[in-house]
Every structure is written in C-alpha cells, then in structure tokens.
Chain A
C-alpha cells in the first residue's frame, strides 16, 4: 500500500520540527521526515517525494531582517546542487500537484512573505499581506481561542465545530494587508480560517490578550482559494495531547488535543486524493 509521507523542513532557526513531525505521525501519516534544508539544497531529498509539507515554527535566521524574510529570500533564490533547478521550482511543482502545505507561526510568516498566501488567482509569488510586530510590542506565549470559519475552503479545518484553543508564541504575529481590496477578497472568499475570539468562540475580538497581537480583522490564520495552503500563527502541533493544555489538571478534557485535527485532515486528504 502506498505510504502517506509528510516532510518537515528545518535548519537556520526552525525550532518546532520534532513536535510537528510527531503531530503528523499521530495524525495518520506513515512517515514524517525531518529534512534539514541542506538535504534539499544538496538534492539528497526532493519535495516531489512527499505529500504534505510542513513549514513550522522557529526563528528563521533569527528573524533578523523581519520574521522569515531571509528564508523567503533563500527559498526564492537558492539553487539545488545536484539538480538543474532552484528550490522554488520544486515548491511550485509541489503546489501544482495539488499537495497540501501547512505553515505555522514562522512558517506562516514565510508563506505570507513569499506570496504563497493568500495567493489570489494562483499567483504564488506575490506578497499582498504581512505579519508584523505585535501591538503590545513584545513576544507573547499565551493560549488563544480561535473561532473557525466553517465556510472556508481549508482542507485542514474540516469537522471543527466552533473553534480550537491553541498557544501562540510570537513577537511578530499581527496580520496586516496591503490594501482594503486584499482584505475584502480574503473575507469574501472565506479565506480567513481562524479569528481570535473569546472562550465562547463568538465574535472575533480586537481586545488584548484574546487577540494577542492586534491583527486586522482579528485574523489568526488564512488559506488560499484551493484550501490546500494554509498558515496560522497559533501552534496546532503544540496541543496534540490533553497534558499540553494549560488547565488539564482542572478540566475534563478529551485525550486528544485540539490541534491534532489539522494533521488528521491533512493525512485524510492525502489518503483519499493523492495515494
């Protein structure tokens, strides 16, 4: 039987690769390979051999030029040693093949800054939004309630009833768009998958700390029109078991954490559509 294979790219400051790979396996992938970017740039590993790409959290290049900026530049310009191509060629081929990509935190920043999200009209290399410094001016590690948009095309969030509770851990998570038109299109296309809300997953909120960074329209995560590319600031891989929850010692919680469903849905998609 064909195996569902996930890849997690690491190197240059990516930090969440182990728990992201763990979440992929728990979610149903047969294999979750942690690939150092040098493995890709040397040609030893190729994105083509995988079904699900994780661009996960960390501080790529120390966020020195702004979060994930240097990696966006590397992805765009770096050549693959053994093959006559750039890394970006592999990435666009991966997208062209209808394979899902999930960007978390620094990975979301990377996707947005490369233009992979929201990627209107399938234009994957034009940046129209960004993630910038939190309004509070500080890095924050805290848990947030994310209201789900059931009308979104995201393949990752299917089956989520009202929302999910996940941690954010970032200094640059404020979602900002280049123009009103961009926001209108995001909203009209139901591309804003998750918005920060109160514990009842009711109305989106602009109030700190429920909205920890002051994101426009309280946006915490978006997807492209195909629903296959999604990015979010909160960390789904950080809540896959009840003991990850900050109140697990006082609340009756299911064994499985809220974040796991994103990886289950990715595995399910790969099994039904790509294998």
Chain B
C-alpha cells in the first residue's frame, strides 16, 4: 500500500517558495492573500515497514533543523484552502527519482519494478477568496494542467477527509504490442485526414509519395519476405513522418524557390541551404586557404573549428519554441539540456564549456486579452527563465552570453534559443576527434533515460503552427542530473575508445538518431522490445519516436560492449543493446521476432522531392515620421533606457551561474558596481592557458518590418562588432545562423506566404554577402519555420528573426576590453559614421513609428576598421569599448558612463556623418542605430598610438571622460541637449525588470 510522507517547514521558518507564490498571486490575479505556506509530499509506493519509512522520512526527506515530517498524518494546519499539485501519470518526476534512490541506499536494496516514489507540493492559502478564485489560481499559476494535476480542499473538507487521500500517479496500461497497418489506397481527402489526425504533418504530396512507394511491386516483394503486407505499418508511417518533418528535414531550406524581386526579376533558387549557407562556408574557406580553421561543418550535430594545435571547439545553437509555448518551464529546460547533447554528440564527444541563451517574449506587463490557448507573456517569461536556470546551473555549464528581446508578436510563440559550446582534444586515441565512423556489425546502444510517452510527435508538432489541439504529449521534462551522470560516464568511455560513434537522441527519438546512423553505414536491425521503458503499455511506434530526454545513441564494437556496460553500471547509467548496424540498405525494425518496419534507407533519406516555393518581394512602405527637433533629449534618453529591449536584464542574468568551471574572464556584467552590460563573453576553457574563447551574438527582428536583408546584415554585424569590442580575433571567428520564421509557405492559412518566403530569400542573400565580406564561415545552424499561432480566428506571426552567434578566439585573454569607462580624462572616440538611419529604431518605436531608413551595413569599411581596432586592442591601447546598437550613441554613452561611474562630455558636432546632410540633426546623431560603430575610450597617453593604428578609417574623438557623475552631450547648435546624473540614468535603465 502507498504511504504519504509530508514535510513541512517549522512554523518560525520563512517559506520563500510560498512568499513568491503570494507575490505572483497579487501580480497576476490582483487577489488578496494573507499568507502562502508550502508542504512537500512524498507518496511512497513500495513495500517498506514502518521503521524504514520513519528512517526515510526523518533522514533524506527531512532537514530537521528547519522541517518536520509526518507519516500517514497530514501536516497542514491553519489555512483556508489547500491546493495539492503533482505530476500527471508518466510525466518525469525528477525529485521522485532521487527520492527513490535515497530510499534504496538507506534500506540497502533496490526497489522492485513497479515500485516508486512520487512527489507533489501542497500550497496552503490563507485568504478570504471564493473557491472559483482559488480554482483560477490553481490552473492559472500553481498547476500547468498539461503535465500536472491538482486537488483543492477547503479547510472543512480537509478536516472531514482527514487530510488528502493517497494517490499514486502510476501509468496503468495493459501490455500491448499493437502494430496497425494503414490503408493508403484511399482518396486524397482520407490521406490528409490520416496525416492530420495522426499529427504526422505530412502534406498530400508526401502522402502520395509514400502511397506510391508501397505500390511498387519490388517493395511489396521484399516486404513479403519479412512477413509484412503491402500496407505500411504505423511504425513505418511514423518513422517517415519524423524523418520527413520540417523539423528534421528542413524542407523549406532545401526546397526550390521561385523568387521575384520588386523590379520583376525572377530567379530560381535550388535550396536556400545549399545556395547561400553551405556556399558561404565553402567560399569563405576557399578564401581563407591555409588559414581555414573549420574542421567539421553541417554534417554533425554541431560545428567544429580549430582552437589551437591541441584543442577543437564545438558550438551549436538550437531553438525550443513550440514546447516552451505550451509548458514554458519544461520546454525551456528541455531546450537547454537538449542542446547540451548536440556538442556532446559531435565528433567523438565534447566536454561542454558554456551555454548561451536568447529569449524573445511579448511584454511581460501585457494587459490586453489573449487567445485562449496562449499563456500570458509573464508566465512564459517566468517559466522559461527558470527552466533555463535549472537546466544550465544544474548541469554545471556557465551561461555566459545572451539577451532578451521583446515584441508583442512573440505572444504568438516565444522564441527560446539555447546554445552550447564544447571543447575536445584535437585527437583522441590517435584519431581526429571530430571524425567518427560506424562499422557494420557495431551494436546499437542507447544510454541514459528510459522511454515513455513524453515528447511523442515533438518533431512533427513543431512543424505545424500552434493551435487549439496541439498535443499534450509533445512536452517533455528534462532532467539535468540523469544527463550529467551519463556525460560523466561517456566522456570516460570516449577517452578509453569504447565506442565508434555517438549522436544525440532528440527530435524524432530513436527513429531519427538510429535512422541517421543507419544512413552512415547503410542499414540497421533494431529490436524495439529491448528498449527500456518507464512504464509498460507503449506501442512499438511510440517507442520508436518518443523524445524522452537524456538519451544518447551509440555504435559500440561487440568486442568492447563488456567493458562499456560494466563502466556504465558503476556510474549508475543504464545501457541497452537494441540491435546492430548493418549494410543491408534497410532500416529494419523488429518487435521481438516480428518485423514492424522495413524501409529502404535511401527512400527514408532521399525519397522526398524538393518543395516548390513561390516568393515575391514587395518592399513595404511605412509612414515616414516627422522628426521633432527639441532643445533637450534627456527625458527621451531616460525613456529609451527604460524600454524593454534596452533596460538591464540583471535580475535574470544573476540567476544564471556564469562563472562555474573557473574560466570566466569577461562576465555578463562589468564596471565599478558590477552592473554594466558586457558586449560579449570571454572564457578560458583551459585553466592553465590564457587563450580565450569569445562568444557574442546579434539579433534585431524589428528591422524585418522594413527589410529582412538589412535585418540580417545588421544581426551579423552586431554579432561581429560585439565580438570585436571585447578583443576577439578576426583571424579565427565562425558564425552560426538560427532562423526563426513565420510560416513562409503560400497556402490558404498563409495567404502572404510568398512575401514571407521572399523575406527568407533576402535574409539568406544578406547572410551570404556579409559573411563573405567578414570572412565568417557558417559552421552550424538551425531553422524553425512555423512560428505562428492560429486558432481559426486570430493569427499571430512572429517577426522574421535571425539569431546570429559568433564564436572565436582571443590570443591572450588578459588583453580583453570591457565596456565601462575607466578613468577621467580619457578621450572618447566614436568609430564609424552615423547616418539618417532611424528606421525600425527603438527611438521610432518609442514614438509609435517604424519608418523606412533601416541601417545599412558597409561591410568593407567596417571590416577594415574592426581589424585596425583589434590591432589597437592587441597593443593594449584601448581602455573601454562599447558597441552601439539599440538606442544608438546616447544609450551606449549612458551605459559606458554609468558602468564606469564617471561622466562624459560629448559633442555631437564632432560625430562623423554619412550621406545626405538633410537628415543630420541632434535626433539622428543621438539615436540612429547605424551599424558597425563602437564607442571607445583611450588614456590620453595612448591617443597618438591609437590614432596612428586607426589611421585611414572613419573615427573621431567626440569628447572626454569626466570625474563628475554626469552625462553631458552638446548638440549641433552648441547647446546642451542631454544632461543627466548617472544615478538617474542607471535607475531608469535598471528599474523596469528589477523585480521580476
């Protein structure tokens, strides 16, 4: 019989978890609650005697300095309502798993199969609210009903019931191994029903290709030999749906585009990926010649570049948008621990050295009605921030760089970008670490977590827009500790040469990972009955495509399986042999003796013809705002500093461990009070060396409202100028592109698909142009193409967004430059010219306009200047440097000044101008977001040398650092146009998100 152990804080101990819930009830529901206390509940479903249960309760479950334990008796007292929230059956219960292990250590033996420990939390509310209010608090805050269940009792019901009844959230399914055959000899309409209802996300054309495959007499014959009929099994159809999903196959990026520009010029583009992204890398590598540093690009889970003779760097950035929309905490947690597996599963496996996070949200203070399925942006913000916090911190990987971007349209789908870099020895056991091969006969191995119904249809569901019926099962809960254990084990197995091949088990589950591995060697034979399950009752197709987390797939030579398994046992990691790799040409899946899928590898990977995509570019015209010239812009600057895209994100960043692993050199925050915003991060991955890794990013979705070409050019430039600012070398820097688009496929649902597709084409064109000019090879990337919400009435599409990340090297991390001004008397230089480029700026957004003059990047001049600047950094001539982006010169100057706690006197008349003089005025000089600019300070004794190195580039001395804590800027007319104390400016900048 299951027994309840409840753990309550002693009365006099503060309950920060309860206090936080109380604050959030006030914020979200504007309901008065006097007090919230919380109780942890462990439901122990195992044969333990009273003495053992008491030991467990008093020992590992209870901290007796601050807590009390209760066995079979309720702990709760003194409340009006009690809400108990636990996980639904089958949802990963991380705490329950740890509790189970603790019990096993304590009693000295393993619990039996089917026994377990389940956790839940009680919230005790002291309040004078109605049951309906409490119900809305439960469903709107305490419980995500997708993955959690709740019970509400008021005080009298609780007394009458003598507490909360025991409930064991165990999955009770009968053992079934049902394999269905699907009849595809049906009308088109029926084919589409099969696709839609099965969440297969296959188009009619794709369904017809599958239909044709199963009609092929040769196929029918080869299937007969395996005991299969002429109809596909559900296992086969699901495997094809995963493999061919937009998420896995990138059909849009590999489709054929008919592009027409505004002048009516037509162009056929066969695969954007090949024509722009791959070509960029190929052409840049050719340009670099023997200075090429790319080792493995596009073919593995992450890109690999050379760091030095002994080490290689690995980097990947992923998105996890759709799951984060449904379950922000679980979705984001899975996002970060999921991307960890990419560098870990690259080459022979890399040790992870840092994470990066970029989130795009709607305003957390959003106060308008939202469509029913959408969570409030603040809940998404809280959940995502916490999910990434737990995922990153618990994994021991520092989160060193990131940003938060706000736009109302991200209410439709938040964007959650998670990146992870790793490092590996250049060679392992004498072989290049970035290479790996499978031999036929190698065993198919799965390590890590078990398989459940979590994440079924994750790959296909994220290949559709979010809608009312998005499946519950698509969400997974990550467990950083299971993964950490597995990584500890696998790194050691790697160094001992115990496996030939490793890859991540992510979207599409075994279907994708083993499917891709089978593609490497020409086939596989895998028995799904050998896969370890979290609970009985999964059908073979579910086992094949489940995206249950913390799993890696490996190829282990039979001679090494003994040593591999024994080491795994000692590390507490589960290992299963599921079959072997072959060269049969078939993806051959069994359940026990019975063949349940028999698909030619070539058909799976190459059976899909390219999509045909129309694209037509019509430049949008926005109202051209009339710029109001004022005498004073101090208030405007303060408002800009308080805008969500510019304001301090310190309350979020401090929740992320950015220093673990001990190599932090440039931290997210810097300056006199450790609170100025750094442009990029520098870390030393090898602690006895001063070579540093530099990482930065650029993202500016606002510019897409004018032209995605310039959005992209600015994003790439922003990433590189941030990177350059801290001292990154231009001789070894690589880029990663992450496209997040709204659906660009012209259809009934998306009548403007051809415009959105044209936006994608233009973005790719810019990516190629700018990366070529900057010698930036693209080493990895990802696209997420269906970032829309559509419930049949309301459609919300995100602005097309490119996150561009760069990773590179600084020869000597001790030369790194930070953004805070260092000392009074230093000369302030502005590198780069400013133009009439307020289009889609934060300034115009503040005034309610978009405008048309989007910033344009002059890559030739910028690159030359970046090179000269880097020389100045290497010569230790630069005291501080800050990039100019959102809010332009005024914002950058304010940030550098208050970070360094010294004032600045600047003169706008000395700022270099580009283009027509008519647009030159105080507003454009202060707030234009012209690209490729840096605000640099130099000690007076270094000015001559600095100017000599910068000679031949556009730069100007525009002022001086002052001892008084005041930012003063004089305008073209000679009068002071901005004058404010640093405290005022800093407060404006810190206030908006300080308490979130």
Q: Is A197 among interface residues, defined by CB-CB distance under 8 A?
A: no
Query: Which one, A18, A63, A129, contacts B661 given CB within 8 A?
Result: A18
Once the chains bind, are A64 and B94 in contact (CB under 8 Å)?
Answer: yes
Closest to B482 in A: A62
Known contacts A16-B396, A22-B687, A135-B16: does B570 contact A73 (CB below 8 Å)?
no
Chain A neighbourhood of B94, CB < 8 A: 62, 64
Chain B positions 670-715 with a Cβ under 8 Å from a chain A Cβ: 670-672, 674, 684, 687-688, 690
Asked if A77 contacts B106 (CB within 8 A), the reply is yes
Within 8 A of A (CB), among B352-396: 389, 393-396
- Interface 0/1 of A18-33, CB less than 8 Å to B: 1100110000000000
| B408 CB to nearest chain A CB (Å) | 27
Asked if B964 is at the interface of the complex by the 8 Å CB criterion, the answer is no
- Of A93-101, A219-227, A234-242, A264-272, the segment with at least 4 beta carbons within 8 Å of chain B is A234-242
List the B side residues contacting A140 at CB < 8 Å. Answer: 654-655
* CB of A207 closer than 8 Å to a CB of B: no
Q: Are the CB atoms of A65 and B570 closer together than 8 Å? A: no
Q: Indicate if the CB atoms of B571 and A38 lie closer than 8 Å.
A: yes
Are B60 and A70 neighbours in the complex by a CB distance under 8 Å? yes
Would B570 and A42 count as touching, CB distance under 8 A? yes
Taken together as a complex, chains A and B put the C-alpha atoms of A126 and B912 apart, in Å, by: 71
Docked Cα-Cα span, A41 to B569, in Å, equals 12
User: Which residue from B95, B101, B485, B670 sits with its C-beta under 8 Å from A249?
Assistant: B670
Q: Mark B8-33, 1 if CB is under 8 A from A, else 0.
A: 00000110110110000000000000
User: Of A6-14, A46-54, A155-163, A188-196, which stretch is located at the interface?
Assistant: A6-14
A238 cross-chain contacts in B, Cβ below 8 A: 659-660, 662, 664
Chain B residues contacting A70 (CB-CB under 8 Å) are: 60, 98, 101-102
A11 touches B655 (CB 8 A): no
Do residues A130 and B66 form an inter-chain contact, with CB atoms below 8 A? yes
Assess whether A129 is in contact with B65, with CB atoms less than 8 Å apart.
Answer: yes
Is A130 a contact of B813 with CB atoms below 8 Å? no
Asked if residues A16 and B662 are in contact (CB atoms below 8 Å), the reply is: yes
Q: Which of B60, B396, B572, B660 contacts A73 (CB 8 A)?
A: B60
A141 lies within 8 A of B659 (CB): yes
The A106-140 residues at the B interface (CB cut-off 8 A) are 113, 127-130, 132-140
**Interchain CB contact under 8 A, A247 and B672:** yes
* B664–A244 CB distance below 8 A: yes
Give Cα distance in the complex from A187 to B28, angstroms: 44
Docked Cα-Cα span, A59 to B658, in Å, equals 15
Q: Which one of A13, A18, A42, A65 lies within 8 Å of B394 (CB-CB)?
A: A13
Specify which of B656, B674, B690, B822 lies most central, judged by the most chain A CB atoms within 10 Å of its CB.
B674
Q: Which among B60, B572, B820 has the greatest number of chain A C-beta atoms within 10 A?
A: B60
B655 close to A138 (CB less than 8 A): yes
**B:48-85 near A, CB below 8 Å:** 59-61, 63-66
Q: Nearest residue in B to A81 (C-beta to C-beta)?
A: B570
With A38-B572, A77-B108 in contact, is A142–B671 under 8 Å at CB?
Answer: no
Q: Judge whether B818 and A249 touch: CB under 8 Å.
A: yes
Closest-by-CB residue of B relative to A57 is: B660
| B60 and A72 form a contact (CB under 8 A) | yes
Shortest Cβ gap from A80 to chain B (Å): 12
Verify A139–B655 contact, CB threshold 8 A. Answer: yes
Query: Does the CB pair B65–A13 fall under 8 Å?
Result: no
Cβ of A18: which chain B residues have Cβ within 8 Å of it? 661-662, 687
Main SS of the interface on chain A?
mixed
**B439 close to chain A: CB less than 8 A:** no
- Flag if B63 contacts A69 (CB, 8 Å): yes
A74 contacts B by Cβ under 8 Å: yes
Interchain CB contact under 8 A, A77 and B661: no
Q: A241 to chain B: closest CB distance in Å?
A: 8
Task: Say whether, besides A13-B484, A73-B59, A129-B65, A246 and B105 are in contact (CB < 8 Å).
Answer: no
Is B479 an interface position by the 8 A CB rule?
A: yes
Contact A237 B662 (CB under 8 A): yes
B671 and A135 contacting across the interface, CB-CB below 8 Å? no
**B817 interface residue (CB < 8 Å to A):** yes
Q: Are A250 and B900 in contact (CB under 8 A)?
A: yes
The minimal Cβ–Cβ distance linking A123 to chain B, given in whole angstroms, is 15
How many interface residues does A have (CB within 8 Å)? 65
**A198 interface residue per 8 A CB criterion:** no
Instruction: Give the contacting residue for A61; candidates B101, B664, B665; CB below 8 A.
Output: B101
Interface presence of B480 (CB below 8 A): yes
Interchain CB contact under 8 A, B659 and A169: yes
A90 close to chain B: CB less than 8 A: no
User: In the complex, which residues of chain B have a beta carbon less than 8 angstroms from the beta carbon of A65?
Assistant: 60-61, 95, 98-99, 102
- Name the distance in Å between B137's Cβ and chain A's nearest Cβ: 18
Closest to B480 in A: A62
A66→B656 CA distance, assembly (Å): 19
| Interface contact A16-B59, CB-CB below 8 Å | no
Does B816 interact with chain A (Cβ within 8 Å)?
yes
CB <8 Å contact, A135 and B101 = no
Contact A58 B396 (CB under 8 A): yes
Contact indicator A127/B105 (Cβ below 8 Å): no
Q: Given A36-B571, A65-B102, A137-B19 in contact, is the A19-B654 Cβ separation under 8 Å?
A: no
A14 to B102, CA, bound (A): 17
Q: Determine the residue in chain B with the shortest Cβ distance to A139.
A: B655
Kindly state the separation between the CA atoms of A12 and B656 in the bound complex, as whole angstroms.
20
Distance of A240 Cα from B656 Cα, bound (Å): 21
Q: Is the CB of A73 within 8 A of B659?
A: no
Interface residues of B in 82-133 (CB under 8 A from A): 94-95, 97-99, 101-102, 105-106, 108
* Cross-chain contact of A127 among B64, B99, B101, B654 (Cβ < 8 A): B64
CA distance A12 to B395 in the complex (A): 10
Collect the chain B residues with CB atoms within 8 Å of residue A246's CB: 667, 669-670, 674
With CB as the reference atom, state the residue of chain A lying closest to B667: A246
Is B657's CB within 8 Å of the partner chain A?
Answer: yes
Query: Which residues from A are CB-within-8-Å of B655?
Result: 138-141
Q: Are A240 and B571 interface neighbours, CB within 8 A?
A: no
CA distance A216 to B106 in the complex (A): 32
Task: Tell yes or no: B481 within 8 A of A by CB.
Answer: yes
Contact B667 A59 (CB under 8 A): no
Residues of chain B with a CB closer than 8 A to A237's CB: 662
11 additional A-B pairs beyond A12-B572, A59-B481, A240-B662, beta carbons within 8 Å, are A18-B661, A18-B687, A19-B661, A22-B688, A65-B99, A76-B59, A130-B63, A237-B662, A243-B684, A243-B813, A244-B665
7 closest pairs, A vs B, by CB?
A15-B396, A19-B662, A64-B98, A137-B16, A130-B65, A73-B60, A59-B394
19 A-B residue pairs with CB within 8 Å: A11-B488, A12-B572, A13-B396, A13-B484, A13-B485, A61-B481, A64-B95, A64-B481, A127-B64, A130-B65, A134-B16, A137-B20, A141-B655, A143-B674, A169-B393, A178-B65, A238-B664, A244-B662, A250-B671
B residues at A contact (CB < 8 Å): 13-14, 16-17, 19-20, 59-61, 63-66, 94-95, 97-99, 101-102, 105-106, 108, 389, 393-396, 479-481, 484-485, 488, 492, 570-572, 653-667, 669-672, 674, 684, 687-688, 690, 813-814, 816-818, 820, 822, 880, 900
